Amino acid sequence: MDYFEYRNGELFCEDVPVKAVARKVGTPFYLYSYGTFERHLRVFDGAFGDMPHIVCYSLKANPNGALLRTVARLGGGADIVSGGELYRALEAGIPAEKIVYSGVGKSREELRYAIDAGIRMINIESEGELRLLARLSRNMKKRVPVSIRVNPEIDPKTHPYITTGLKKNKFGVLWADALRLYREMAAEEYLAPVGISSHIGSQILELGPFIEAVTSLKSMILELKGRGITVEMLDIGGGLGITYKDELPPDPAQYARAIRENLGNTGVTLILEPGRVIVGNSGIFVTKLLYVKGTAGKIFYVVDGAMNDLVRPSLYNAYHEILPVEEGKTKTEVVDLVGPICESGDFFAKDRELASLKEGDLVAIKGAGAYGFAMSSNYNSRRRAAEVLVKGGEFFVVRRRETYKDLKRGESIPQFLEV
């Protein structure tokens, strides 16, 4: 469900023609629908009904400040994986008591920042991190609520790069070790073992892996209880998948029901960390066709957006639906849609049947709200794209396109090279 649709053959985001935004801000740009984002958050939160829970939006999917402000306004929390994300979440007005922190390599500085801010829970991912956190909490004389991110050894049947809960992955702690760490924590004056957490992967399209994870976490909670350690929070991570092409992921209601049924009466507060399912289909990436190039029996549509803007096709071989902003052309062509970057991996689609387009036409790449701008870079010294938010019939530039000057920001020339 999203608010991108054709009206009289023209692609709209809510009540704004995509073309009108292009005219104003140039191309390429990300276009987000406020209504879609807000709706997804509400539906996801509502699916858990009266179960005690906190929806902690996963910042890494898309940390744009306007979206974070929306999360804060709707009473949501944040799932963060770095000090930078903690900064952004706090700046947006997300309260510290609704922020949880995961990540396999948190630095001393980042941990200190999180302790200082007084966030809800730090999810420990290794024995070394536990030691460091224990030391910091003693030095700072501050109670630190922690959980252990356990590795439930579950195959979520998704892309290998976004699988995180297998024994061979770098994330989390195996249960046997976790049990020992919980006991160590209980002996620490300032560490409060308040939760248990896991996150098994991303773009998960079946309930099975979630059910397995919840079932196994439930038995861990009970085992801990048997040893005198009562956790009050269960963080089951994010990972619910979305439709990019023809996938049929469970909807939030089915997901919530499966968790509720398999968790039973443990009395814990659920922490949910959805990213992609909230923001993925709330955004599109709009780019302009520069050249139609025929070579050796192939047709290349060369556009002004590239892998530095949206890397998912190059990185994961991900499929994104590609639509002409002006509909109505029945003729199609099998083409490669590629960007200007000097890499053969710079493509959005290969051998795809698309509406036949001409130079200057606009193209929309759907499902680009999550892991789109967030993963963008300045490779090839390309300025990062603008981000635009639509609400009803209005649109707002929520991040301007970078300037050439921005490309040099932070650089300095050593004196010996000065003219």
Ligand X SMILES: *Cc1c(COP(=O)(O)O)cnc(C)c1O
**List of residues contacting ligand X (CB under 6 A):** 58, 60-61, 79, 81, 102, 199, 202, 237-240, 273-277, 370
Nearest to 253 by CA among 240, 239, 269: 240
Residue with smaller CB distance to ligand X, 83 or 238: 238
Which DSSP category does 403 fall into? P
Q: How far is the CB of 34 from ligand X (least distance, A)?
A: 19
Spatial separation of the C-alpha atoms in residues 133 and 126, rounded to whole Å: 11
Which of helix, strand or coil describes residue 409? Answer: coil
13 catalytic? Reply is no
> What is the amino acid identity at position 96?
A
Point out which residues pair with 387 in neighbouring strands. 30, 399
Residue with smaller CB distance to ligand X, 14 or 387: 387
Q: How far is the CB of 259 from ligand X (least distance, A)?
A: 14
Spatial separation of the C-alpha atoms in residues 129 and 323, rounded to whole Å: 46
Q: What is the CA radius of gyration of the chain?
A: 23
User: What would the 3-class secondary structure string for 61-74 be?
Assistant: HCCCHHHHHHHHHC
Residue with smaller CB distance to ligand X, 196 or 354: 196
> Tokens representing 336?
């490669």
Nearest to 231 by CA among 216, 211, 217, 210: 217
**Residue of 248, 342, 417, 419 with catalytic role:** 342
Residue with smaller CB distance to ligand X, 123 or 314: 123
Residue with smaller CB distance to ligand X, 306 or 370: 370
Q: Output the CA angle 338-341-342, nearest 5 degrees.
A: 115
Residue with smaller CB distance to ligand X, 63 or 305: 63
Nearest to 100 by CA among 194, 166, 211: 194
Alpha-carbon distances, residue 1 vs 92, 242, 244 (angstroms): 26, 10, 12
Phi, psi of 384 (to 5 degrees): -70, 145
Active site residues: 342
